[in-house]
A and B are shown apart, each in its own frame.
Chain A
Amino acid sequence: MTNVEEKQFTLSGEPFLQLRHVSKRFGGVQALENVDFEILLGEVHALVGENGSGKSTLVKIATGVLQPETGAEIIIGGKKVTFLTPFEAHHLGIHVVHQDLSLFPNLSVAENIASHFYLEGFRSFVDWRKIWERSTEVMEKLGVSLPLDVEVRKLPIADQQLVAICRAIAGYARLIILDEPTSSLTWKEVNRLFTFIRGLKEQGIAILFISHRLDEVLEISDRVTVLRDGKKVGTFPTRELDQSKLSFLMTGKKLAFTRDTRMHKVAPEVLRVENLSRTNQYRDISFSLRKGEILGIIGPRGSGRTEMALSLFGLNPPDGGKIYVEGKEFRGESVQRAISLGIGYVPENRLLQGLVLDQSVENNLVITVLKKLLEKGRLLDPRRKQEFARQTVKDFGIKASDVEAPVRSLSGGNQQKVVLAKWILTEPRILILDTPTHGVDIGAKESIYQSMVELTEKGLSIILISDEEQEVMMVSDRILVMKGGKIVEEFDARSMAEEDLRRKVRE
């Protein structure tokens, strides 16, 4: 027993992949500058950095998709590799589990896992028994049990992900790169994935974990490598880090955002929801929202939070309960009515999808309010349009060289502000934001929070739907915890520590 453990332990200590002095330029942009990187067998190593920090370039170099500038050294399994191709990387045991999983949805679990046989192994005929045996063997080794003959598309995403990891192991992976593996999982599934990753670790597999979610990075990794603007900030043992240290390392800035503790208890109520229910989605939802308040609703995916929000916006009529908007009853019958009552809804992902990136800031801003800008002859006055856009840019503090500049040229945070502004221009009194910072950099997050606070100061009320405890704690006045279609708790954001909230939400 001790013998085996020792053996595994020494195995775990060996460096598997080492990159030295890696640089990469794209035209005038220095994507990576003299970066060293090392990952050990049996280690979970997190790679973090904001968008454009060079994470994906580094991964592409490690997998042979891109070649580094001369002077770089790539050492895999102790051997120096002079020219790494994707095929060679694969052959040496470096496998990527992409965010989209890259599975064959129409093929069975077994065939997906054993698909490496189609590259090498089958000379002339497909040996179905071998496919069966190999996939069973790998699943047993990893402690996964999935039906072998079911088409992958019929599995939930979390199971599909396990199939993708099993496939890497079946292809003799020694390093598995997980690219944003938790972005579409429920918390339960994330926990299961983490247990699974710890199992891989024990088998001496190296795991490179790439994620925007710092809480998850801190939970699962042994070491963290931080990149910023193409340079390596450093590699740190995870136990020496916490969220604020890590975000400081990533951005180089202290998180400046703090919210004033203000009292909204005296402000008039703008929205009241009483016993709102919809079969199989949510039930008995009651809450109220005051003017200028930010109400955080936190709950896992599938908790009914989005379904409930859609009901408030008239897209998912409830079958029980009441909604009052400034005293007027609203049955959730149509979007038109919701808008006329002053409700705005920004769905998940809309922050980025809601922009035409190659169009100017001006055109993006005015698109929701074209009607207001029409002259008598139902024509657009370009001068008025531009003036209007200039004023909006000023009001929202959007940093752009000019309103004629394409939105693409703006930084992430300013792009988000353009989207927010676009929705605010429709003059809602209540704005529902569904996970507005999903997959967004820390810096950009901060500027979204800032805009939200500024809006409430102008009298807007916001419902913020989120699955990040830190976010709702920082931004909202009150917090509702939603689980299994019900509100299980309501409290003042000031009255609770983040750790307690985390426990409450995830238990």
Chain B
Amino acid sequence: MKFQMRRQTELYLLAIVVVLSIFLTVMNPKFLTLENLFDLLRNNSFLGIVALGELIVLISGGIDVSFTATATVAQYIMGVIISRTMVNSVLLAFLIPIPIGIALGAINGCLVYYTRVNPVIITISTLNFYYGVLMFISKGTWIYKFPPTFREFAKLKLFTLMSSKGVPFGVSIFTLFWVILGIITFFLLKYLPIGRKIYAVGGNLEAARRAGFNIFRIQLFVYCYIGLLAGVAGFVHAELNQMIQPNAIVGMELDVIAAAILGGASVFGGVGTVGGTFLGVLLIAIVKNGLILMKASAYWHEVIMGSIIVLAASISAYQRKLQIRREKGRFVEEQLF
């Protein structure tokens, strides 16, 4: 009881990450190199950024599965604009997907609030709607003609080291994106009134309503926030791959939700931390990386991901049960014997 439960979750996760890393290093010494680690943090920055948004939605008691479509639509519109105009500015490219993400998020937020339909249903529908419209208009065409600065930007690193083979490597600029957004999200949750209200709404919606909180504003904010992050992540994804395929991102919803839930967030709402989510993303990244290093078939990825989600969700449900039993036990003890 001394430990807060979420702290416990984080410690468990950290232990699992460490054990898994040791195992993978024994299997393949290449795993525990700075080079591989930096690669991991770079390649998973898309996952990490959207997981922060999913975290906020989950804390508020909602869920969003449409962010992959949001990210795709946002990056595709950006791609069309910069490849047609060839404006040689990364900043401009970066600024295009953000308002698109926020707008699509706002649609989700309004639908969730006004229809009172379960957000899973709403966002599955908008996922299909956004994605369907995009496929219809784009006809699935890929975009890979980008201005030079857009290409150069992807190679930016915070610092550069040399590997033993003489190949330069370092911490990617996109890892920095992830870290900064993580810090912003942490700050928002802990020090902004809206952050505390998100926890409150997720903990007890009716109580929040009775306390006079503006539920619409809170839900709108939450879905706009994941929309915004999906926009940024869409940009990061396009940069990392140097091409935009309309079908590249859709399908990754489960990885992201799994990362957040592994990190201690709950589909029941009210709990979750940035640190936990970071570790959750890291765990999923390591598992995937390990499977690649061990040359396992791509289908195994799906099987293992599915198992991890079931496991994580069962553990958190079990913890909930234990906690309820503990409370009951104390209640009886008070008068018994």
Binding site for B on A (CB under 8 A): 86-87, 90, 96, 98, 100-107, 111, 115-119, 122, 124-126, 151, 153-154, 156-157, 186, 188, 280-281, 300-304, 483-485
Q: Contacts A126-B190, A156-B327 given; indicate if A106 touches B203 (C-beta within 8 A).
A: yes
Nearest CB on A from B143, distance (A):
41
- Of B209-217, B293-301, B309-317, the segment with at least 4 beta carbons within 8 Å of chain A is B209-217
Complex contacts, B210 vs chain A, CB 8 Å:
96, 98, 102
> Looking at the complex, which one of A90, A102, A302, A483 makes contact with B207 (CB distance below 8 Å)?
A102
Beyond the given pairs A104-B199, A118-B211, 17 more chain A to chain B contacts, judged by CB atoms under 8 angstroms and listed by A's residue number, are A96-B210, A102-B211, A104-B208, A106-B199, A106-B203, A106-B271, A107-B196, A115-B200, A116-B211, A118-B197, A118-B200, A151-B4, A154-B327, A156-B331, A188-B335, A302-B331, A304-B332
> Looking at the complex, which one of B1, B193, B207, B336 makes contact with A103 (CB distance below 8 Å)?
B207
Question: Max chain B CB contacts within 10 Å: which of A86, A102, A186?
Answer: A102
Nearest CB on B from A63, distance (A):
10
Nearest CB on B from A279, distance (A):
10
Complex contacts, B191 vs chain A, CB 8 Å:
125-126
Indicate if the CB atoms of A118 and B334 lie closer than 8 Å.
Answer: no
Complex contacts, B4 vs chain A, CB 8 Å:
151
Q: What are the nearest 3 A-B pairs in CB distance?
A: A106-B270, A102-B207, A106-B203
Within the assembled complex, what's the spacing in Å between the Cα atoms of A86 and B212? 9
Q: What residue of chain A has the Cβ atom nearest to residue B207's Cβ?
A: A102
Say which size band chain B's interface belongs to.
20 to 34
Q: What residue of chain A has the Cβ atom nearest to residue B195's Cβ?
A: A126
Interface residues of B in 203-256 (CB under 8 A from A): 203-204, 206-208, 210-213
Indicate if the CB atoms of A484 and B213 lie closer than 8 Å.
Answer: no
Within the assembled complex, what's the spacing in Å between the Cα atoms of A102 and B206? 7
Within the assembled complex, what's the spacing in Å between the Cα atoms of A96 and B206? 14
Question: Max chain A CB contacts within 10 Å: which of B190, B212, B213, B327?
Answer: B212
Complex contacts, A90 vs chain B, CB 8 Å:
212
Within the assembled complex, what's the spacing in Å between the Cα atoms of A151 and B206? 18
Within the assembled complex, what's the spacing in Å between the Cα atoms of A111 and B323? 21
Complex contacts, A102 vs chain B, CB 8 Å:
204, 206-207, 210-211
**B337 interfacial contact with A, CB 8 Å:** yes
> Looking at the complex, which one of A117, A119, A124, A301 makes contact with B212 (CB distance below 8 Å)?
A119
Indicate if the CB atoms of A119 and B192 lie closer than 8 Å.
Answer: no
Within the assembled complex, what's the spacing in Å between the Cα atoms of A316 and B330? 19
A-B contact pairs, 27 of them (CB 8 A): A98-B210, A102-B204, A102-B210, A103-B204, A104-B200, A104-B270, A106-B202, A106-B270, A107-B203, A115-B200, A116-B211, A118-B197, A119-B213, A122-B193, A126-B193, A156-B330, A156-B334, A157-B331, A186-B335, A188-B334, A280-B336, A281-B332, A300-B335, A301-B335, A302-B335, A483-B335, A484-B337
Nearest CB on A from B212, distance (A):
5
Complex contacts, A186 vs chain B, CB 8 Å:
331, 334-335
> Looking at the complex, which one of B193, B206, B336 makes contact with A118 (CB distance below 8 Å)?
B193
Nearest CB on A from B9, distance (A):
14
Nearest CB on B from A308, distance (A):
12
> Looking at the complex, which one of A105, A281, A301 makes contact with B203 (CB distance below 8 Å)?
A105
Indicate if the CB atoms of A484 and B199 lie closer than 8 Å.
Answer: no
Question: Max chain A CB contacts within 10 Å: which of B191, B199, B207?
Answer: B207
Complex contacts, B212 vs chain A, CB 8 Å:
86-87, 90, 119
Q: What residue of chain A has the Cβ atom nearest to residue B200's Cβ?
A: A104
Nearest CB on A from B335, distance (A):
4
Q: What residue of chain A has the Cβ atom nearest to residue B214's Cβ?
A: A119
Complex contacts, A126 vs chain B, CB 8 Å:
190-193, 195-196
Within the assembled complex, what's the spacing in Å between the Cα atoms of A265 and B250? 77
Indicate if the CB atoms of A104 and B204 lie closer than 8 Å.
Answer: yes
Q: What residue of chain B has the Cβ atom nearest to residue A121's Cβ?
A: B193
Within the assembled complex, what's the spacing in Å between the Cα atoms of A280 and B335? 11
Complex contacts, B197 vs chain A, CB 8 Å:
118
Indicate if the CB atoms of A302 and B204 lie closer than 8 Å.
Answer: no
Indicate if the CB atoms of A118 and B196 lie closer than 8 Å.
Answer: yes
Complex contacts, B207 vs chain A, CB 8 Å:
101-104
Within the assembled complex, what's the spacing in Å between the Cα atoms of A101 and B210? 11
Within the assembled complex, what's the spacing in Å between the Cα atoms of A484 and B208? 38
Q: Contacts A126-B193, A154-B327 given; indicate if A303 touches B204 (C-beta within 8 A).
A: no
